[in-house]
Amino acid sequence: MAPALEAQVQQEEQSLPHNNNFYNTLNDATHRSKVTVIGSGNWGSVASKLIASNTLRLPSFHDEVRMWVYEETLPSGEKLTDVINRTNVRELYSFHFFVELRDSNMLVFVTPHQFVEGICKRLVGKIREDAEAISLVKGMEVKMEGPCMISTLISQQLGINCSVLMGANIANEIAVEKFSEATVGYRNNREVAERWVQLFYTPYFIVTAAQDVEGVELCGTLKNVVAIAAGFVDGLEMGNNTKAAIMRLGLREMKAFSKLLFPSVKDSTFFESCGVADLITTCLGGRNRKVAEAYARNGGKRSFDELEAEMLQGQKLQGVSTASEVYEVLSHRGWLELFPLFSTVHEICSGLLPPSAIVEYSEKLPRSF
């Protein structure tokens, strides 16, 4: 089933099994929430389908889900919004923008992380004061004062609460309704978290909540760095034992880095879908692994930018830029020796080391690990 979308066009109803005990939780016919999806790429398109299938079923949500896009003319000569409205299918991946969100009180951010700050600056004063946001964005911003998580950036820029949703979520598999899981990370308000769970939950997309925004978000961010390392291993044909070792060591560095930045991060978060499950699926089948494998097979002689353009048809890698941002944090805080895998991934991506260095870094492992 192709991802069903909408640019101000009501979705066709999806037939889903009833679970009245779950779906009726928090339903309030006197207050209908309206949802807008900010981002129209691969994951944004699939997220729109999940959301629309529930807004049609639940009386507490307005049944129209909006995906605001930047108007552009496609190679066929048609306008992008005309194609989406006619077919309910988003055929091309690129970044799109929107103009008006004043009537939406639930905002779903799902764009490449490098675009989020610019989007938020243009949204200031154009959203409801009581709006709630959720970020499906995997990445972080590094500023002079230190690293800034995307959920924090959204909250600070817009003055609204922002939860996160992360998990083992390869979009193409969810689009055809293969069973998947995800984790909503929330800060204080359990009722808001349950509302987000309600919005995304389907019989094939199981969503749970964890009171650990930073932990959930960092898992979704850092696993892309480990996936780059896994791709190097695949490209060098080092085998499953090596790849499993890289994944285990990567999970260890994910946990250590998260706890150094945010001591409140919970150990249990790493055993949710956003943690070890997302790490596994990304290291086995994600785009970061795929392009890193090609980089290693070419001996590092073709750049990631070149391979990304050739292999991903407009989709964006997150692992390379995240590795650079993590490296900046490690270097600034004097932590490079504590995180040899993260450091080595960036140095390979930057051309400072050959791909084969991915298995040589273990000689530098500190005894404290």
* Residue range 120-141: mean pLDDT, rounded: 91
Per-residue model confidence (pLDDT) at position 343? 96
Bridge partners of 282, per DSSP, are none
Query: For 142-182, what is each residue's pLDDT tens digit?
Result: 776 778 999 999 999 999 999 999 999 888 899 999 999 99
How many distinct structural domains can be found in the chain?
2
Task: Output the furthest CA–CA distance in the chain (Å, rounded).
Answer: 62
Amino acid identity of residue 30, one-letter, is: T
Highest mean pLDDT among 110-124, 227-241, 313-327: 227-241
Q: Which residue range forms the structural domain that includes residue 149?
A: 4-211
Mean pLDDT of the chain: 84
| Residue 80 domain-assigned (yes or no) | yes
Residue 142 pairs with which residues in a beta bridge? 147
Q: State phi, psi for 207 to the nearest 5 degrees.
A: -120, 130
For 34-60, what is each residue's pLDDT tens digit? 999 998 778 888 999 999 999 999 999
Q: What is the CATH number of the domain that holds 139?
A: 3.40.50.720
Average pLDDT on 350-355 reads 96
Q: Residue 43, annotated ligand binder?
A: yes
What pLDDT does residue 144 have? 65
Phi, psi of 209, rounded to the nearest 5 degrees:
-115, 145
Q: What are phi and psi of 265, to 5 degrees?
A: -60, 135
Q: List the alpha helices (DSSP H) in the chain.
A: 20-23, 42-55, 80-87, 116-123, 150-158, 171-175, 190-200, 213-235, 240-261, 278-285, 287-297, 304-311, 319-333, 340-349
- 287 marked ligand binding residue: yes
Residue of 223, 243, 255, 290 marked active site? 223
Are residues 139 and 321 in contact, defined by beta-carbon separation less than 8 angstroms?
yes
Domain membership flag for residue 95: yes
Same domain, 93 and 134: yes
Ligand-binding annotation for 245, yes or no, is no
Per-residue pLDDT at 70: 57
Ramachandran quadrant class, 90 (left: phi over 0; alpha: psi -120 to 50; beta: rest): beta
Whether 167 and 289 share a structural domain: no
255 is catalytic: no
pTM > 0.85: yes or no: no
309 is in an annotated binding site: no
CB 257 within 8 A of CB 338: no
Of 80 and 359, the structure prediction assigns the larger pLDDT to 359
